[in-house]
Every structure is written in C-alpha cells, then in structure tokens.
Structure 1
Amino acid sequence: MVFHDYHLERLTDARSGSVSRVGLVAYASGIDAERGQMVTVAGIEGTPNVGAEVQSGVVKYDANFNYQLVEDVSRRNTFISGRRQTLRNAGQMELTADFGAGTLKGSGSSTNLNILNAGLPTSLLVDGQINGQAVTGTATVTYPVSQLSGRVRSNIDTDLNGQIGDNGVIATFTGTNDNTTVAGGIVGAASN
C-alpha cells in the first residue's frame, strides 16, 4: 500500500487511534503519546486515476466527503482527552473546477450521526486552486459541538491537497487549532 504524502503527520507513538476512509483516501485520529497531543492524519492510497489534465473550461464533479474530528481537546499534567466525531454517512457535494481561472469551489453537507450530536448537520466548503493536476487550498469544516459547551456549531479551516483531471478529483484535508483537530477526504467523479 503506497500513500501520497499530503500533510501526512508522522506519529511517533500513536495510541487510541481510529482509521476511516472514503474511496482511496484514508484518514485517522489518535493520541501521539510522545508529543502529548491529539493528532489527525490523511493520505491518498496508491496512484488514483483522475484522468487527463484539463487545460481550460469548466468541469463539475459529484463528490463524497468524510472526516474524523477530535474536539474539546484538553491537557492536564500527563492526561489528555477529547471527543471524537466521525461521520457515519459520507456527505455529498458538488465541486466546480474552472480550469481557465485555476479554481475549485463547492460545498456540501451531511447529517452527523454521531451519538452526542445526532441529527445535527455538518458541512464542508472548498476554496481551492488548480495548478496542472494539483489541487491546493482551504476546506472549511462546520460541525456540531457538544451542546453542554453552549455552542451548537463551530468551524475549522483545513489545508486541502490532492489531484484533479477530466475523470475525477481526490483530495485530503487536515487542520488543527487550539482544541480541535480534523482530517478527512474528498472523492468525486466528473458529472458533465
């Protein structure tokens, strides 16, 4: 199994981990005991076939996304904790690639089936750039949080990295802030 190294953080001593996938994108969350922090990682397996490079024009993609998120991360002495959320059903989105302008844009949503936040929506907003067949940019994850915290939704910006062609698009997204870390993937097929 070969993984393309898109922001794939090396785990020195991973514990209590969980691995998920959407298509050829694998992503995981867990505790890096050596560094004393919650971490998430993502990678693309093998060599995906996204098709030929597109020089100009607009192509739309029907895509699925999924992620793992650890929120409310707290550290006390030698103890670290957080709440993990994983979408049980992939979200769906439409992405629009404007190859002349070099942009990839789109958004989608899913109903989060996490037990703590059952039925609350989650969404992903993609603001990407295209250079040849490389995709980079930002993916913003908006997710439900524990209602005990007094908030219902929060968001985190993540780094988007992947590949695009005339047949499809595949990308990872990873990000971390003070008390949240997230990793996931997007896999889509051209629809026009």
Structure 2
Amino acid sequence: MALDFDGTLVGCRDRQLAALERALDGRPAPDLDAFWRAKTTGASTVAALTGLGVSEPDARAIATRWVEVVEDRDLLALDPPVPELDAALTAIAAAGLDAAIVTARRDAAAVRAQIDALGLRPAAGVHVVSPASAAAEKAVVLAELGAVGFVGDTESDAAAAAAAGIPFAAVAGGQRDEQWLARHVAGAVHPSVLHAVRALLETKER
C-alpha cells in the first residue's frame, strides 16, 4: 500500500507558513490563517496572496521564493507526524502488506532524511517524484509497485491513483480541507490516515 507524505503522514501547515514568512523578504505579512484557508480550498500561492490584497507582481515574486525555501531543512523540522500514523502503518503490516511512501519533492535527499528522522522505514521504500509532474509520475510509481491502494490528501493524489487504476482514499486536514476534497475527489473523505488505510484494506478484502 502506498502513502503520500506531506499532509498525509506529516502536517505541513507550520512549515508552509514559515516558508511564506521567509519568502516575504521584508514585505508586510498577509493574514497567515486566511492564506492557509485559501490554500486548502484549492488556491495557488499567487491566488491566495492576491486574494489577500498583495499585488500580483509581489505575489509572483513571493511564490517563486516560497518554492525555493519551502524545503529548507530547518523548516522541514516543523512537520509533525499526524495522529494515528503508527497505528496506520501497523495495520498495513498486519494485513501482510508492505508500505511505500510516494511523495513529490524537489530535494529527494532532504525528504529521505526527514522520513528517516521520524523513524519511518517503509518496507517498499521511499519514492520521490517531481512536483512539476506529480500526478503522472506518482501514477507510474504506483503501477510499478503494484500498490493495492494509495492514501493521499489532494486531488493530484487522487488523479495519480486513477491513472494507475488502483483505489484511492482521501485524508482531510492536510493540504486540502474536507469540503474541497468532497467536491473534487470521488469516494469518501476520511478524518485520519488510519481511517483511510482501514477503508482501503476493507476494499481489498471484498
């Protein structure tokens, strides 16, 4: 079974907001809570910023800088493991399946170090794809792994599972909120990674 990382196995709100503050480079800070709400309802970084009154040129400059800093290693330490993470991985193993992490990051070495620091040792490995073509590349990885299902927190993750022809379980509370996922992803939206894993295991047993 494959699992996304950001927003699925670790929370990413604190890091992304810290990256925004770093990317402002002295510009006035927008309402950070409002920025995050916009992001979790599908807005791009540019759209979220302009919606809060930032000029488009500044928003584009901030968004470019945000991409450059969001994977800074000191910021990665702000990502907490989600509740029930250990229980979800235990459930996968108890079902006789290997877990794989499939994630989109620019810095593969940094995310692998982050996963290792959390003490995660997915039996089927850590697979890092490009954010620029995340859905398509994740689909290839999922197919190559022969994954029985994929747990993720965005419509891009759902698209990857669909392209690979495997079941998808959405987790709310990551990079998309429950309402956004309910409108843009087929099937149930789950409150935690453990609920999502259990749903996929039940599907597999049918």
State the TM bucket, normalised to the shorter chain: under 0.3
Give TM-score scaled by structure 2 length: 0.23
Greater fraction helix:
2
Q: Which has the higher contact order (CA 8 A, sep 6+)?
A: 2
TM-score normalised per structure 1:
0.24
